[in-house]
Chains A and B, each alone.
Chain A
């Protein structure tokens, strides 16, 4: 994030605006990674998973832990990011299979509160294991430099994230459209009863969706480690941000989440620049406005 210049000296030149929008774009791609998992779970299971932010935090801590084990080799960062995402995916699968699955068909409030219980338990478990001291990782060796673009200095790592976001989005979209599992997921989002009646193992499908979503959350957390400190409490902050993104774009809508993340990133990064004190406010005001005018979001469909 660019430093905020004092108001009376502030003349926004082009390169500065460019740098600021790229910084917003980087934040947006992280949020997309996290929010897409949240949106996927909501779209298929019709549950808002408060624990998704906790999976993101666990991804960050796990990546840190694996780097500690591996040491700083050329590929250790990438191995640990992937390993962390897989570990979180496994945890998500276990939680869904052995606990969450028993709450299907009960009141929505119970499902919500169960995911909140996970926030409490896993958040404290992370404190128990890694303490409250903040941790950080350095950028992977190949991407530690920066490039000068239009007069602005952009770290390679940010560029990587900006490219990774759309790549994952496209891959994800392709999988949803073209593979059998993707078709089943879309069918489950539309009508799970009929899908079950057609002989599809809906429970296994749900577990798969949970695993995939947790993987995305964990990956987001692991990849953010070179840019943000790993601290307790990063989970409860990010989950609300992810809620804002999915609500703006449309709960359960895939491209909506992408659009929501882009809007959020730009509003935040320019909000901090021009109205530093209103940036948080403006984001939640935007969320409220979308819910009032178009509750199903910019690109979503009304729920039946």
Chain B
């Protein structure tokens, strides 16, 4: 038996060196990927692990982004507090919305998540005094990185980075922490129970599991982590806008999740990376990115329904079988 390769830490360490590669553009892309990776992984807790297809996950992303953005811009609250508050408020809304959603099944569940997300979008669009309305809210400040500069006096490695790069490191550490927590959650007895519910809710009910309460817990956790991703995205994007919560954002993140593969924990993160990278490649040639994305989606649905991770797993299995035979 070979020891498992610690892929997670390898990627983490490699990601630490992105800003030293040179072009600022790489750091920007990597930052984008990290945030969407967290957003997609949070959705997968619901779709992939619990089997609940949400069409309104953008709601919690938007709530997190607006909460943290408003707190930091209008009240000057420190990121240290504004960031967790963004996640907490998103989780609180997920608790209220989810309470009603988990009572419904399948298509009705999806429709109700969509309705709640559109309510959030409508509020962001029209509540001018607080959200800035259609114009959104530009100029969200970066967190205060003065402490890094002070620390750099003793640890020279930390010095000499621009604010955008310092924010990238912050995102990297926070997203990595969130992903580790999420991985612990899906590996825990609680996570196993979610998979049981996905496979057979009736049987779970028969062995005495309160299915709705488990589903609601998954809904709240998933919403909370999406809120944290949104909180980071608002700062990264230098502004928050109503379309963060529009239904097309929900479908974008669903596509990432599917592209990477819902069956693997890091599948959605991989999907986020591949999709954002592809987007950048293609946008430099043509403005018709949706056309390309739609085509990718069709190929995916017809040829690789397990996503990239599923295709890899299939390939690995074939290889192993080949080795065993030889």
List chain A positions with a Cβ less than 8 A from chain B.
Answer: 46, 48, 50, 99, 102-103, 106, 108-110, 112-114, 116-121, 123-125, 127-128, 236, 240, 243-244, 247, 251, 277-278, 280-281, 284-285, 287-288, 291-292, 295-296, 303
Q: Are A284 and B115 in contact (CB under 8 A)?
A: yes
Q: Are A291 and B112 in contact (CB under 8 A)?
A: yes
Q: Whose C-beta in chain A lies nearest to the C-beta of B116? A: A288
Report the stretch among B7-15, B117-125, B161-169, B314-322 that lies at the interface. Answer: B117-125
B248 CB–A CB distance under 8 Å: yes
Q: Are B112 and A121 in contact (CB under 8 A)?
A: no
Given the contacts A99-B298, A120-B293, A124-B294, A281 and B107 also touching, CB distance less than 8 Å: no
* Cβ of B70 to closest chain A Cβ, rounded Å: 18
Q: Are B251 and A116 in contact (CB under 8 A)?
A: yes
Q: Are B126 and A291 in contact (CB under 8 A)?
A: no
Q: Are B115 and A281 in contact (CB under 8 A)?
A: no
Q: Are B100 and A284 in contact (CB under 8 A)?
A: no
Q: Are B108 and A291 in contact (CB under 8 A)?
A: yes
Question: Given the complex, which residues of A lie within 8 Å of B301, measured CB to CB?
Answer: 103, 110, 113-114, 117
Question: Given the complex, which residues of A lie within 8 Å of B107, measured CB to CB?
Answer: 46, 48, 108, 251, 303
Q: Are A120 and B104 in contact (CB under 8 A)?
A: no
Chain B interface size range: 35 or more
CA separation between A123 and B153, bound complex, in Å?
55
B221 CB–A CB distance under 8 Å: no
Q: Are B119 and A291 in contact (CB under 8 A)?
A: no
CA separation between A236 and B107, bound complex, in Å?
19
Q: Are A110 and B305 in contact (CB under 8 A)?
A: yes
B71 CB–A CB distance under 8 Å: no
Question: Given the complex, which residues of A lie within 8 Å of B47, measured CB to CB?
Answer: 109
Q: Are A280 and B122 in contact (CB under 8 A)?
A: yes
Question: Given the complex, which residues of B lie within 8 Å of A284, measured CB to CB?
Answer: 115-116, 118-119, 122
* Cβ of A40 to closest chain B Cβ, rounded Å: 15
Given the contacts A109-B53, A110-B305, A113-B297, A124 and B122 also touching, CB distance less than 8 Å: no
Contact of B119 among A113, A120, A285 (CB under 8 A): A285
Question: Given the complex, which residues of A lie within 8 Å of B111, measured CB to CB?
Answer: 48, 243, 247, 251, 287, 291
Question: Given the complex, which residues of A lie within 8 Å of B255, measured CB to CB?
Answer: 113, 116
CA separation between A157 and B272, bound complex, in Å?
48
List B residues 290-318 near A (Cβ within 8 Å): 290-291, 293-295, 297-298, 301-302, 305
Q: Are A128 and B118 in contact (CB under 8 A)?
A: no
CA separation between A29 and B169, bound complex, in Å?
54
Contact of B290 among A120, A240, A244 (CB under 8 A): A120
Question: Given the complex, which residues of B lie within 8 Å of A112, measured CB to CB?
Answer: 53, 110
Contact of A280 among B125, B248, B254, B295 (CB under 8 A): B125
Question: Given the complex, which residues of B lie within 8 Å of A251, measured CB to CB?
Answer: 107, 111
* Cβ of B127 to closest chain A Cβ, rounded Å: 8
Question: Given the complex, which residues of A lie within 8 Å of B122, measured CB to CB?
Answer: 280-281, 284
Determine chain B's interface SS by DSSP, over half rule: helix
Given the contacts A117-B301, A280-B125, A281-B122, A288 and B115 also touching, CB distance less than 8 Å: yes
Q: Are A117 and B288 in contact (CB under 8 A)?
A: no
Q: Are A277 and B126 in contact (CB under 8 A)?
A: yes
Q: Whose C-beta in chain A lies nearest to the C-beta of B246? A: A236
CA separation between A112 and B114, bound complex, in Å?
13
Given the contacts A117-B294, A121-B295, A128 and B106 also touching, CB distance less than 8 Å: no
Question: Given the complex, which residues of B lie within 8 Å of A102, measured CB to CB?
Answer: 302
Q: Are A121 and B291 in contact (CB under 8 A)?
A: yes
B258 CB–A CB distance under 8 Å: yes
Given the contacts A124-B290, A291-B115, A280 and B126 also touching, CB distance less than 8 Å: yes
Question: Given the complex, which residues of B lie within 8 Å of A99, measured CB to CB?
Answer: 298, 302
Q: Whose C-beta in chain B lies nearest to the C-beta of A290? A: B115
* Cβ of A267 to closest chain B Cβ, rounded Å: 13
Question: Given the complex, which residues of A lie within 8 Å of B248, measured CB to CB?
Answer: 236
Question: Given the complex, which residues of A lie within 8 Å of B288, measured CB to CB?
Answer: 124, 127-128
Q: Apart from A108-B106, A110-B301, A114-B301, list 4 A-B contacts with CB within 8 A.
A: A103-B301, A109-B53, A277-B127, A284-B115
B247 CB–A CB distance under 8 Å: yes
CA separation between A234 and B127, bound complex, in Å?
23
Given the contacts A280-B122, A288-B116, A291-B111, A114 and B106 also touching, CB distance less than 8 Å: no
Q: Are B297 and A116 in contact (CB under 8 A)?
A: yes
Given the contacts A113-B301, A117-B297, A281-B119, A295 and B53 also touching, CB distance less than 8 Å: no
Question: Given the complex, which residues of B lie within 8 Å of A120, measured CB to CB?
Answer: 290-291, 293-294, 297
Given the contacts A124-B291, A291-B112, A117 and B119 also touching, CB distance less than 8 Å: no
Q: Are A118 and B115 in contact (CB under 8 A)?
A: no
Specify which of A46, A247, A284 lies most central, judged by the most chain B CB atoms within 10 Å of its CB. A284
Q: Are B126 and A125 in contact (CB under 8 A)?
A: no
CA separation between A278 and B47, bound complex, in Å?
32
Question: Given the complex, which residues of A lie within 8 Å of B258, measured CB to CB?
Answer: 109, 113
CA separation between A110 and B305, bound complex, in Å?
8
Q: Are B298 and A117 in contact (CB under 8 A)?
A: yes
Q: Whose C-beta in chain B lies nearest to the C-beta of A247? A: B111
* Cβ of A101 to closest chain B Cβ, rounded Å: 12
* Cβ of B316 to closest chain A Cβ, rounded Å: 23
Specify which of A106, A121, A244 lies most central, judged by the most chain B CB atoms within 10 Å of its CB. A121
Question: Given the complex, which residues of B lie within 8 Å of A291, measured CB to CB?
Answer: 100, 104, 108, 111-112, 115
* Cβ of B33 to closest chain A Cβ, rounded Å: 21
Specify which of A117, A240, A280, A292 lies most central, judged by the most chain B CB atoms within 10 Å of its CB. A117
* Cβ of A121 to closest chain B Cβ, rounded Å: 4
